[in-house]
Amino acid sequence: MLKGIPAILSPELLKVLCEMGHGDRFVISDGNFPAESMGKNAIVIRLDGHGVPELLDAVLKVFPLDTYTQKPVNLMEVMPGDKVETPIWETYKEIISKYDARGEKAVGCIERFAFYEEAKTAYAVVATSEKALYANIMLQKGVVAEE
């Protein structure tokens, strides 16, 4: 065990986060996301029994967001005609604001099918049991600055 590392971050997941370089992208998916088919060229990690917010909070404790792009965090846009509420997005913005000074300005939206295409190029996909709809989130890694 290690001190200061959230228990939800398994050794496998920590290794993947550490291996990622500047600009690599990482998807935290909800329970409906086709993680295995979208992640054919990525590392897919199952994190059943957990939701996206708790994982997002843990990841951002150790994962710097890219400062060279305006929107290093992207959500899957709700399809026109879908009558879906996305209160989980506000939770995401609160979590992101704890770790990045840009707060919700660091968050963008990508059209559903474009999100899938971007997810196919991600370094890793973590599949959660999140039940909220449109709860998928993509993070782009930045650099760890010298303190």
Beta strand residue intervals within the chain, DSSP E: 25-29, 43-47, 73-76, 107-110, 124-128, 137-140
Q: Is residue 116 flagged as an active site residue?
A: yes
Q: Quote the tokens at residue 32.
A: 């409906």
Q: Which residues contact 125 (CB under 8 A, 6 or more apart)?
A: 26, 27, 29, 33, 35, 38, 39, 42, 43, 44, 45, 119
Q: Specify the DSSP class assigned to residue 65.
A: B
Distance CA 121, CA 25 (A): 8
* Catalytic residue (one of 30, 66, 92, 123): 66
Distance CA 142, CA 147 (A): 15
* Catalytic residue (one of 24, 50, 99, 116): 116
Distance CA 122, CA 37 (A): 12
Would you name the residues annotated as active-site residues? Answer: 22, 66, 116
